[in-house]
Amino acid sequence: MSSQTTNTPQGTALHHVLAAHSAKRSVWRWIFWLLVLLALAGLVFFMLRSEKQGATPLFTTEAVLRDTLVVTVSATGNLQPTNKVDVGSELSGIVDQVFVDVNDQVRTGQVLARLDLSKIMDSLAKSRANLEAATAQLAQSQATVAENKADLERLRTVQRLSAGKMPSVAEMLTAEANLKRAVAAEAVAKASISQARAVVQSDETDLRKASIYSPIDGVVLARSVEPGQTVAASFQAPVLFTLAEDLSKMELQVDVDEADVGQVQEGQNATFGVDAWPGRKYTATITRVSYGSQEKDNVISYLTILTVNNADLSLRPGMTGTAEITTLTQKNALLVPNAALRFSPPEHAASTAQKSRSLSLAFMPRPPRQPVAQQKKSDSSTPRVWILREGQPVPVEVRTGATNGRMTEILSGDLQAGTEVITEMLDTAP
pLDDT at 23 over 70: no
Average pLDDT over residues 36-47: 75
Indicate the fold that domain 73-82+246-331 takes in CATH: Elongation Factor Tu (Ef-tu); domain 3 (2.40.30)
Residue 100: which of 89, 109, 113 has the closest Cα?
113
| Residue % of the chain over a pLDDT of 90 | 57
The answer, yes or no, to whether residue 278 has pLDDT greater than 70, is yes
More confident residue, 376 or 119: 119
Output the pLDDT for position 372.
42
For residue 204, pLDDT over 60 is answered with yes
- 4, pLDDT greater than 50: no
pLDDT (0 to 100) of residue 354: 47
Phi, psi of 215 (to 5 degrees): -85, -10
Phi, psi for 126 (deg, rounded to 5): -65, -45
How many Cβ atoms from other residues are within 10 Å of residue 282's Cβ?
Answer: 21
CB 242 within 8 A of CB 268: no
Phi, psi (rounded to 5 degrees) for 385: -125, 165
Give the whole-number percent of the chain exceeding pLDDT 70: 82
* Mean pLDDT of all residues in 271-285: 94
The pLDDT score that the predictor gives to residue 338 is 92
pLDDT attached to residue 59: 84
Q: How far apart are CA 349 and CA 428, in angstroms?
A: 10
> 118-124 contacts: CB < 8 A, separation 24 or more?
119/93, 120/91, 120/93, 120/203, 120/206, 120/207, 120/210, 121/207, 123/203, 123/206, 124/200, 124/203, 124/204, 124/206, 124/207
Task: For residue 144, give every residue at least 6 positions away whose Cβ sits within 8 Å of its Cβ, in sequence order, or none.
Answer: 182, 185, 186
Q: What strands lie across the sheet with 211-213, from one edge to the other?
A: 211-213, 111-115, 93-98, 230-231
Which pLDDT score is estimated for 101?
94
User: How many angstroms separate the Cα of 198 from the Cα of each of 205, 324, 422?
Assistant: 10, 59, 88
The answer on pLDDT for 5 being more than 50 is no
Between 49 and 169, residue with greater pLDDT: 169
pLDDT tens digits along 115-129: 999 999 999 999 999
The pLDDT value recorded for residue 365 is 46
Q: Is the pLDDT of residue 190 over 90?
A: yes
Residue 428, pLDDT score:
54
CB 149 within 8 A of CB 181: no
Encode pLDDT of 44-79 as tens digits: 676 666 555 555 668 888 999 999 999 999 999 999
pLDDT at 3: 42
Q: Lowest-confidence range among 51-60, 205-214, 385-394, 410-419?
A: 51-60
- Which carries the bigger pLDDT value, residue 102 or residue 3? 102
Give the whole-angstrom CA distance, residue 229 versus residue 260.
49
- The pLDDT assigned to 370 comes to 43
What integer is the mean pLDDT of 288-304?
Answer: 93
What region, left, alpha or beta, does residue 268 occupy, with left being phi > 0 and alpha being psi -120 to 50 degrees? Answer: beta
Stated length of the chain? 430
The confidence score (pLDDT) of residue 324 equals 94
- 67-118 tens-digit pLDDT: 999 999 999 999 999 999 999 998 999 999 999 999 999 999 999 999 999 9
Categorise residue 232: left if φ over 0, alpha if ψ from -120 to 50, beta otherwise.
beta
pLDDT at position 46, please? 66
> Domain limits of the chain?
2-53, 73-82+246-331, 85-231
Tens of pLDDT, residue by residue over 307-366, are 999 999 999 999 999 999 999 988 999 999 999 999 888 764 444 444 444 444 444 444
CA pair distance 138, 142, nearest whole angstrom? 6
